[in-house]
């Protein structure tokens, strides 16, 4: 590395140092990696968690682990509890992050859930629950962040964590597919609506990533092999590989990018079944 490159590396990604970032679902998996990555770039982070840490030993451990990693970077941090599907809790969470960090510049809508069930057996409650967290929750958080950006007359950035299932249908995960499909137009519509006010809205679409949401296959070598056999870069991704792209989209290096979803998926959205030309002689 040249001295200029070294100096740039120490500075971190352009425009992130000193910024305040709110990450929903920030204590686990991809969200935790995102919170830590922003801290590494010198940004202060508000880490949202769902369950009351004092009531859930697992969550308490995750919150502490995330906060400890963030504090290693010497930035400021705030831990904010809220169920993102609940309007009053989102309003309180964003207000708390603004008050305790002194404003918010970047929102990462990462919290997400999925329910597996054949669609003809899916209850309306389970369908609504997934939409409420993944899509309504992202809307509510985005609305509160945008209100703040507009009130302060300052630029802002929102990154929505979508999925390859924004594009690829996922049978037996109807609510999830619909929520991530909807996220594309959440991203694009907000991007168009607020581009003139300096607010950028983008998405990151992870492919199969090693996180707790995938405990069904990550620790089973046979199932894991089955998953990776469908991926052109033949392995699962890790949370850190998602975090880098989220940080890029929020940084000044992406100042001219809005309304886009970048798929970080090892080529999963390239229709891997066409690796061999089976449809013509």
CA-to-CA dists, residue 56 to 25, 59, 69, 129, 231, angstroms: 15, 5, 20, 21, 35
The rounded distance, in Å, linking the Cα atoms of 45 and 42 is 9
Neighbouring C-beta atoms of residue 231, cutoff 10 Å: 19
Rounded to whole angstroms, the Cα distance separating 255 from 113 reads 30
Q: Does 166 bind ligand NAP (CB under 6 A)?
A: no
Contacts of 189 (CB under 8 A, 6+ apart): none
Closer residue to ligand NAP in complex, CB, 20/177: 177
194 part of the active site: no
Alpha-helical segments (H) within the chain: 3-11, 29-40, 57-72, 87-101, 124-131, 137-152, 174-194, 215-218, 221-228, 239-250
Query: Which of the following is catalytic: 173, 176, 194, 256?
Result: 176
Which of 16, 19, 24, 191 contacts ligand NAP by CB under 6 A? 24
Does position 208 interact with ligand NAP (CB under 6 A)? The reply is: yes
160 binds ligand NAP (CB under 6 A): no
Residue 50 sits in the site that holds ligand NAP (CB under 6 A): yes
How many residues touch ligand NAP under the rule CB under 6 A: the total is 29
Q: How far apart are CA 149 and CA 166, in angstroms?
A: 27
The residue from 47, 113, 201, 264 that contacts ligand NAP (CB under 6 A) is: 113
User: Which residue among 59, 96, 202, 261 contacts ligand NAP (CB under 6 A)?
Assistant: 59
Is 141 a binding residue for ligand NAP by CB under 6 A? The answer is no
Nearer to ligand NAP, 78 or 84 (CB): 84
Footprint on this chain of ligand NAP (rule: CB under 6 A)? 24-25, 27-31, 48-51, 59, 83-85, 110-113, 133, 161, 163, 206, 208-209, 211-214
Residues annotated as part of the active site:
176
């Amino acid at each position: 590395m040249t001295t200029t490159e070294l100096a740039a590396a120490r500075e971190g990604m352009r425009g992130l140092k000193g910024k305040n970032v709110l990450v929903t679902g920030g204590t686990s998996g991809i969200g935790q990696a995102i919170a830590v990555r922003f801290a590494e770039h010198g940004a202060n982070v508000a880490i949202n968690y769902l369950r009351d840490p004092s009531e859930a030993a697992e969550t308490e451990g995750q919150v502490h682990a995330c906060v400890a990693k963030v504090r290693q970077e010497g930035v400021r941090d705030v831990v904010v509890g809220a169920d993102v599907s609940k309007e009053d809790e989102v309003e309180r969470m964003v207000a708390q992050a603004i008050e305790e960090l002194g404003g918010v510049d970047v929102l990462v809508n990462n919290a997400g859930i999925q329910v597996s069930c054949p669609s003809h057996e899916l209850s309306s409650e389970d369908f609504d629950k997934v939409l409420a967290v993944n899509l309504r929750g992202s809307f509510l958080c985005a609305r509160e962040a945008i209100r703040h950006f507009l009130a302060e007359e300052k630029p802002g950035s929102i990154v929505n964590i979508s999925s390859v299932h924004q594009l690829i249908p996922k049978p037996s995960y109807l609510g999830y597919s619909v929520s991530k499909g909807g996220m594309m137009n959440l991203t694009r519509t907000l991007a168009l609506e607020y581009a003139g006010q300096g607010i950028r809205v983008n998405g990151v679409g992870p492919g199969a990533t090693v996180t707790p949401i995938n405990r069904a296959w990550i620790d089973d070598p046979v199932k894991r092999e089955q998953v990776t056999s469908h991926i052109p870069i033949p392995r699962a991704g890790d949370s850190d590989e998602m975090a880098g792209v989220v940080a890029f989209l929020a940084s000044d290096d992406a100042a001219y990018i809005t309304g886009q979803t970048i798929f970080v998926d090892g080529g999963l959205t390239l229709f891997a079944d066409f690796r061999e030309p089976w449809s013509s002689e």
